[in-house]
Each structure stands twice: as structure tokens, then as C-alpha cells.
């Protein structure tokens, strides 16, 4: 019985994430969510009495996916710019492929309230700043390049990819539209070339 209830909850969270990702908090419909999850409205309201409670569950699930990635990269003993490249590209890939994480980010923009797992974007912006400060301390950044400025640029890169992925269809990065054939690794290489103080900056993420 408990296993069935957990499966129902997970199905509802997945269905709600798809609805929130596409339509936002205000536009999301509990009726469409229950239909997508193949469950009744009674079952939905039993597990999540309000749309706000369901949104909180989606945000919590997204936080559990993204936060360990950001914290894990910061805790590793690697060259800061290499770690930064891995973090940026990993975040982009997660937000492109994981509708729950993507919906959690959109819900933070759409909903005025906080909650225990609010401000998911702060998890990665904090990690980006830490790694950039380490890069500055290690003289890995070009003279005049400020960590906060680069952090803002990379945050825009991550969140912009998230917004494009939420559109779906031919506008998805790497699939069509203005981002046809463009991979996050390639965008990172351009950023890295511009900020790195070394003549031969570290290779692409995963290159060793």
C-alpha cells in the first residue's frame, strides 16, 4: 500500500512538473495534472491538498536533483576553471533533460512565496561564485576579469538554456531554431577563452 502511494505521488510530481514547466504556476490546471498522471482528482487532493502543496513538492524534488551537483563540484579538489566548466555544462544538461528540475526553476520565478526549498538558483550561483573566487586567487583569470561579472554571465547561460528548453519543440538548444547545432560545451569554450589568464585554457569538460 505504501509503495503504491509513493508511486502515485511520484506520478503526480512528474505530471505537475510537465504542467508547470509548460504553463507556469498560474496557468497550471489540477485537472490536467491528474489526467496526465492517470489518477483521479480525489487521489491528487489526498496527496496534495492544494496547487501550492504540489508546487512545493516539485520544487523540493528539483532541489534534490540540482543542489547535490552544485555542492559536490565545490567540494572537489580540482582546478577551479575545470570545475567551473563541468558545473556549468552539467547544470545546462540537467535543466534541458529533467523536467522536474526545470519546473522547479520556473516555479521560483512564478510564485511569490518562499518555502523550505526556495531559491534553487542560489545553489548554483553560490557555487559559481565560489569557484570563480578560487580561480581569481589562483591567478587563473585575466587581469580585470571580476568573478561576480563572470558569475552573472554564467548564470544567464544556465537560466537561458532552461528557458529555451521549457519552450520545447524546434527551439530547444542543439536541436533547432537559433541554437541549432550549438552545444553547451562549445559555448563554455568561448567563455573560458575570454576569462582565462593561461594561454592554453583547460580542455572541454570531461577531457581530463
Percent of the chain residues topping a pLDDT of 90: 37
The mean pLDDT of the chain is: 79
- Provide the whole-model pTM: 0.76
| Per-domain residue ranges of the chain | 58-195
pLDDT, tens digit (0-9, with 9 covering 90-100), for 70-83:
899 999 888 888 88
pLDDT, tens digit (0-9, with 9 covering 90-100), for 94-115:
988 899 999 998 898 776 555 4
62, 48 contact by CB (below 8 A): no
The answer on pLDDT for 42 being more than 70 is yes
What is the mean predicted confidence (pLDDT) over 24-41? 94
- The secondary structure of the chain as a DSSP string is -HHHHHHHHHHHHHHHHHHHHHHHHHH--HHHHHHHTT--HHHHHHH-SSHHHHHHHHHHHHHHHHHHHHHHHHHS-S-HHHHHHHHHHHHHHHHHH-HHHHHHHHHHHH-S---TT--HHHHHHHHHHHHHHHHHHTT-BPTT--HHHHHHHHHHHHHHHHHHHHH-GGGSTTTSGGGTT--HHHHHHHHHHHHBSSSS---STT--
Q: Which residues contact 138 (CB under 8 A, 6 or more apart)?
A: 79, 80
User: Please, how many CA atoms are within 13 Å of residue 26, restricted to the half-sphere of its CB?
Assistant: 4
Q: Under CATH, what is the fold of the domain 58-195?
A: Tetracycline Repressor; domain 2 (1.10.357)
* pLDDT band for position 38 (cuts 50, 70, 90): very high
Q: Which residues contact 124 (CB under 8 A, 6 or more apart)?
A: 66, 70, 87, 91, 155, 158
Question: Of the ranges 15-29, 52-66, 181-195, which one carries the lowest mean pLDDT score?
Answer: 181-195
pLDDT, tens digit (0-9, with 9 covering 90-100), for 160-171:
766 666 555 433
Amino acid at each position: 500500500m505504501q509503495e503504491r502511494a509513493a508511486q502515485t505521488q511520484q506520478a503526480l510530481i512528474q505530471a505537475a512538473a510537465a504542467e508547470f514547466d509548460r504553463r507556469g504556476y498560474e496557468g497550471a490546471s489540477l485537472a490536467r495534472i491528474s489526467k496526465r498522471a492517470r489518477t483521479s482528482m480525489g487521489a491528487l487532493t489526498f496527496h496534495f491538498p492544494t496547487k501550492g502543496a504540489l508546487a512545493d513538492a516539485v520544487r523540493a524534488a528539483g532541489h534534490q536533483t540540482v543542489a547535490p551537483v552544485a555542492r559536490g563540484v565545490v567540494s572537489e579538489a580540482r582546478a577551479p576553471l575545470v570545475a567551473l566548466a563541468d558545473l556549468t555544462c552539467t547544470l545546462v544538461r540537467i535543466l534541458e533533460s529533467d523536467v522536474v528540475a526545470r519546473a522547479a526553476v520556473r516555479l521560483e520565478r512564478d510564485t511569490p512565496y518562499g518555502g523550505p526549498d526556495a531559491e534553487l538558483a542560489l545553489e548554483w550561483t553560490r557555487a559559481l561564485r565560489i569557484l570563480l573566487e578560487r580561480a581569481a586567487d589562483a591567478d587563473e583569470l585575466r587581469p580585470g576579469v571580476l568573478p561576480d561579472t563572470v558569475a552573472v554571465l554564467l548564470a544567464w547561460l544556465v537560466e537561458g538554456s532552461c528557458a529555451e528548453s521549457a519552450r520545447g519543440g524546434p527551439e530547444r538548444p542543439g536541436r533547432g531554431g537559433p541554437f541549432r547545432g550549438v552545444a553547451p560545451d562549445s559555448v563554455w569554450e568561448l567563455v573560458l577563452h575570454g576569462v582565462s589568464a593561461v594561454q592554453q585554457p583547460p580542455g572541454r569538460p570531461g577531457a581530463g
